[in-house]
Each structure stands twice: as C-alpha cells, then as structure tokens.
Structure 1
Amino acid sequence: MYLFIINRRSGGGAGGRTWLAVEGLMQQRELAYETLFTHSAASAETLVAEALALRHDWSAAIVIGGDGTVHSVLGALHRCRVPLAVIPAGSGNDTARGFGLPLDTAEALEAALSGVCMDADLLAGAGGLTLTAVASGFDAQVAANVNASRYKRLCNAIGAGQLAYLIGIVQTLLTFKPCPVHVTCDGVEQAFPSGWLVSVCNLPSYGGGLLICPQAKADDGLLDVCVVHGCSRWQLLRLFPTVMKGRHVSLPFVTLLRGRSVAVRFAESRHAIADGESLGQGPLAVRCERGALRVLTPRAAHGAMPALDAAARQAEG
C-alpha cells in the first residue's frame, strides 16, 4: 500500500497537475494506494502520522510537492520508518536533485515504486528535522524575500523557480550588511569578522540547484558547512554564478568545514531557513542524525552515494 502526500499548491499549482498525471498512471497499474492532501506545513506532520498509524503495510510515503512539503513530514516518516519517495513538483526540487531522482513525473513514479532504498542522514535541531540544508545569513534573507514576493509565483508559473532565487539575490544585495559570526564545528570555534552566510548541508544544493556544498553526501554521517565571509558586495554578486557549478569552493573568501555538529551565532539578528522553510531569527545548533530516514532512490542500487562530481554537475546544470 502506498500513501501519496500531495500539496496541490506546490510550484504554483504544479503539485495538483502532477497528481493528475500520477493518478492516471497508478490506475493503469492497478496498485493500491491512499491519498492525503496537505494545505499547510503546520498540519501536515500530524495528518501524515495519523494516516501512517492506521496501517502497518505501507510500502512508501510518496510526496508530490517541493522541498517544503518534504520537510513538513520528516518527523512522521522518521518515527514510523516508512520509506520516503519524492515526485518533484516544487520550485526548487533540491531533494530530488540530491538523491538523483528524475524530474520527469513518470520516471519519478517508477523510482518511487522500485523498492530500492537507502538510509539517509538528517539534520536535527531545535526547529526539528531537516533533509537538505539549514542556512542563515544572506541566503536565508534571500529566501525570506523570495517567499514574500510576487515574482516567485510568476517564475513558478513559467517553470523557472531558480530565476526567482536569482532575482531575490539582486534584491537582497542592495540592503543586506555582513556582520561578525562564530561557527563551532565539533567543538572547535572559528570567528569570522565579516560573515555573509553560513550554510550547513546534508545534500549538495538548495535554492533550485545552487551547489553550495558540492561535496556533501546524504549517507556519510557528516554535515558540510560553507561560510562566505570577508568579501565585498561585488565579489558576492560574482560568487553566485560560480555556485551554479560548485566552483566557488576554491575562492579565498569561502571556508568549508565538516563535522557531526555545528553551531552558528551571528553578532546581529539573522534569518535562518531549513529546507527553504523559515526558522525565524537567532543562533543555530544542528547535529547529524545518521541513517535516520529511508529514501527510495535509484542511487541506492549502486551502494553509498557519491559526492557530486564535475560531470554530474554539468549534466544537472
């Protein structure tokens, strides 16, 4: 039995359109399934937990939506150990990218029904569980601005979710000011006098394919951290095109860290996000929960997940 968790509003209505296609395919296959339509992140976890508790023969919980929809049900899936499958229908779809899931609906459904699973890590903190990344500073402010904008809906409508993020970068660059930040990784603290952003990643990308930590692997028991600091506005603007291919990692104002626990404390109040969803403002503390979530992905058939290499980045870019 499969449980479909559907957010019709994801991706500016792409969730609803995707479900219509999936529903037809499931009926052709004559497979047993149930549906659960979610309308808010606040209620999704409770609804999913209640639905999963009614049976013990779930083959998978298949999310049709974006990264935010996936984020909202992580707690329920973690507790029940029901495998997560994703049919991407959001504006960013970085969960799908990170696990090598097809963006094509029919192919993504095939992967969801394959039964091929891996144990993936999760990020755990005061805000709950996160799958892709927890970030604070400039990029979190970008996300806040994009989510509050009118252009996000327009970009989603034309299938250009990444464009909304790029517009948000330019918008935020006009007003954002860096400040000192302290980053503690596995108990070792580093101070950066002029910090722009700190991203703690479990998967390589967020923001619709920006490879902020291209070396990140979801099954290595480690968190990958990217700190951008000590650069001018012009340098920061020039950085973002290089993030598309993960080439920013060699720049002198980019510091990469890796560990099992990370704490971030900006000297001034800064927005924070988890899987693109707001965590409010304040310091962050997250730890890696190794193998906490089962995920259906074709990459599981090949053993441990590889880091995203240059060829893969070009293919996905």
Structure 2
Amino acid sequence: MYLFIINPRSGGGAGGRTWHTVETLMKERMLPYMTLFTHSAEGAEALLLNTLKHREDWKAAIVIGGDGTLHSILGALRGKDIPMAIIPAGSGNDSARGFGIPLSTEAALEAALSERYIEADLISGANGLTLTAVANGFDAQVAENVNASRYKRLCNAIGAGQLAYIIGILHTLMTFKPCRVSVACDGTEHVFEKAWLVSVCNLPSYGGGLLICPQAKADDGQLDVCVVHECSRGQLLRLFPTVLKGKHVALPFVSMLRGRSVAVNFAEARPAIGDGESFGKGPLAVRCEPGSLRVLSPLAAVSAQRRADPAAACGSNG
C-alpha cells in the first residue's frame, strides 16, 4: 500500500494539480494507495504517525508538495523502515533536486515506485529536524522577505519560483548589514568579521536551485557550511549568479567548512530558517543525524557504490 501525503496549496496550487495527474497514473496501473491531505504544517506529523500505525504493509510515504511540506513530516518518518518519496510541487523543490528526483511528475512517480532508496542524513537542532539546509543571516532574511511578499505568489502562479528569490535578494540587499560571527565545526572555532551569511547544508541547494554547498551529499554523515564574509554589497550581488552553478566556492570572500556538529553565533541577532521555515533569531547549534531517513531516489545506485568502495567513489569525483 502506498500512502500519499498531499499539500494541494503548495506551489500556488501546483500540489493539487500534480495530485490529479498522479491519481490518474496510479489508477491506470491499478496500484493500491491511500491519501492524506494537509493544508499546513500544524498537525501534519501527528496525522501521519496516526495513519502509519494502522497497518504494516506500507511500501512508501509519497509526498506531493514542496520543501515546507516535507519538513512538516520528517519527525514521523525519522528512523522508520518506511521510505519517503518526493513528487515535487513546491516553489523551490530543492529536496527533490538534492536526491536527483526529476521535476517531471511522471518521472518523479517512477522514482517513487522504484524501491531504490538512500539512507539519508538529517540536520537536528533545538528547532527540530531539517532535510535541506539551515540558513542564517542574509539568505534567511531573503527567505523571510520572500515568504511575506506578494511577488512570491505571483511568481508561483506563472511557474517562476526562482524569480521570487532573485527579487528577494535585491529587496534585502538594500537594508541588511553584515556583522561578526563565530562558526564552530566539531568544536573548532572560526571567526569572521563582517559576515553576511552562514549556511549549514545537508543537500547542495536551496532557494529554488541555488547551489550554496555544491559538494554536499545527503548520506555522508557530514554537514557542509558556506560562510560569505568581508565583501561589499556589489560583490555580494555579483556572487549570486555564480551560486547557480556553485562557482562561488572559489571566491576569496567565501569560506567552506565541514563537520558533524555546527554552532553559529552572530554578534547581532540574525534570522535563521530550516527548509524554508523560520527558526527565529539567536545562536544556532545543529548536528548531523546519519542515515535517519530512507529516501527513494535515482541516486541510490551511486550511494550504494560509494558505501561499498569509498576510495573509488572519491576518485571518480576528482
């Protein structure tokens, strides 16, 4: 039995439209399924937990929605044998990108029915679990501004979710001020003056495809950290086009760090977000939870090869 968790409002209504397509495909294949409809994060985890306990033959929990919908049910699937699948229907869809899941509904459904999964890590902290990244500073302020804007709804309506974040960057650039930050990875402290942002990543991208930590892998037991510091507003603005392809990592005002645990402390209060959801302001401390979530993914074969022969996998990336 397949269980679909559907947010019909995600992506400006894309969730509902996507479900209609998936429902038709499931009926054509005569595959058994059940549905759970959720319109907000509140109560989604409890609803899913209650549904899962009523039977034991679940093949997969298939989420139709965006990163926020996925975020709301991580606790219900954490440590479970039931794999999670993603059929992207949000504005950013960075979780799907990170697991190599196609944005096409039909192709994403094929991945969901494949039975090939990755033992994925999660980011854990005082604010709960995160799958993609915890952003702190400028980019978190961008996300807060975008989520509160009218232009996000307009961009979603025309299928241009990434455009909303570009507008948000320009909007935030006018008022945001950098400050000192301490970033501790596995207890080793790194101090940066005039830091704009600190992003702690489990997956390579957020914000609709911004490759903030292009080297991040969901199953390596490590968190990747990007710090942008000591640059002008003009340099920061010019940085963002390079993030689309992950080329920013070579810039002198970008520092990349790694660790199983990360603590971030800005000298002045800065917003933080995880999977696009607000984590408030203040010091941030998170850690990696290795292999806590099974995710059905076309990348499963690559993941299995890396676990079987880490040296060969590293060599193939060079």
TM-score of Structure 1 vs Structure 2, range by shorter chain:
over 0.9
Distance of 2:95 and 2:240 partners within structure 1: 20
- SS for the counterpart of 1:61 is strand
Residues in 1 aligned to 2:213 and 2:225: alpha-carbon distance in whole angstroms: 7
The answer to whether the Cα contact below 8 Å between 1:52 and 1:80 also exists between their aligned partners in 2 is no
For the residue of structure 2 that corresponds to 1:80, the secondary structure is coil
Matching residue of 1:315: none
Query: Is 2:259 the counterpart of 1:259?
Result: yes
Asked if 2 retains the 8 angstrom alpha-carbon contact of 1:71 and 1:129, the reply is: yes
Aligned residues: 309
Deviation per CA, 1:187-209, whole angstroms, max 9, x where unpaired?
A: 00111111100000011000000
- Is the Cα–Cα contact under 8 Å of residues 219 and 304 in structure 1 kept in the other structure? no
Cα separation, 2, equivalents of 1:241 and 1:17: 31
Shift of 1:101: 0.3
- Tell me whether 1:8 sits opposite 2:8 in the alignment: yes
TM-score by length of 2: 0.95
Separation (CA, whole Å) in 2 of partners of 1:299 and 1:217: 11
Which SS does the other structure have where 1:142 is aligned? Answer: helix
- Does structure 2 conserve the Cα–Cα contact (< 8 Å) formed by 1:7 and 1:64? yes
Q: Any idea what SS the aligned residue of 1:207 has?
A: coil
> What is the CA–CA distance in structure 2 between the aligned matches of 1:233 and 1:42, rounded to whole Å?
38
Which residue in the other structure is 1:21 paired with?
21
Q: Does 1:275 align with 2:275?
A: yes
Q: 2:89 maps to what in 1?
A: 89
Q: How does 1:159-308 map to 2 (within 5 A)?
A: 159-302=159-302, 303-304=304-305
Q: TM-score, normalised by structure 1?
A: 0.95
CA distance in 2 between counterparts of 1:33 and 1:19 reads: 12
Q: What is the CA deviation profile of residues 195-229 of structure 1, one whole-angstrom value per residue up to 9, with x for unaligned ones?
A: 10000001100000000000001111000000001
Counterpart code for 1:205: S
Paired residues for 1:27-66 under 5 Å: 27-66=27-66
Paired position in structure 1 for 2:100: 100
* Runs of 5+ unmatched residues, structure 1: 311-317
2:310 — aligned with what?
A: none
1:314 match: none
Once residues 122 and 168 of structure 1 are traced to their aligned partners in structure 2, the CA distance between those partners, rounded to angstroms, is: 27
Is contact 1:122–1:288 with CA below 8 Å preserved after alignment? yes
- Read off the aligned partner of 1:287 and give its amino acid letter: R
**2:261 & 2:57 partners in 1: Cα distance?**
35
- For 2:216 and 2:266, locate their aligned partners in 1 and report how far apart those are by CA, in whole Å: 24
Alpha-carbon shift at residue 79 of structure 1 (Å): 4.2
Q: Is the 8 A contact 2:79 2:293 kept in 1?
A: no
Tell me, in whole angstroms, the C-alpha distance in 2 between the residues paired with 1:145 and 1:29. 43
1:81 positional shift: 3.1
Which residue in the other structure is 1:313 paired with? none
Give the root-mean-square deviation of aligned CA atoms: 1.4
Q: Secondary structure at the match of 2:103?
A: coil
- Residue 134 of structure 1 is matched in structure 2 by 134
Q: Is the 8 A contact 1:121 1:218 kept in 2?
A: yes
Query: Secondary structure of the equivalent of 2:43?
Result: helix
2:309 alignment counterpart: none
Aligned residues with identical type, % of pairs: 73
Distance 2:242 2:248 in 1: 5
Which whole-Å CA distance do the structure 2 matches of 1:81 and 1:264 have between them?
33
Q: Is the Cα–Cα contact under 8 Å of residues 3 and 61 in structure 1 kept in the other structure?
A: yes
Q: Which amino acid aligns with 1:112?
A: A
Deviating beyond 3 angstroms after TM superposition, the runs of 4 or more aligned structure 1 residues are 304-307
Distance 1:304 1:55 in 2: 33
Q: How many Å separate the matches in 2 of 1:301 and 1:223?
A: 22
- C-alpha distance in 2 between matches for 1:61 and 1:108: 13
Cα displacement (A) at 1:283: 1.1
Q: Secondary structure at the match of 1:24?
A: helix
* CA–CA separation in structure 2 for the residues paired with 1:8 and 1:47: 16
Deviation of residue 304 (structure 1)? 4.9
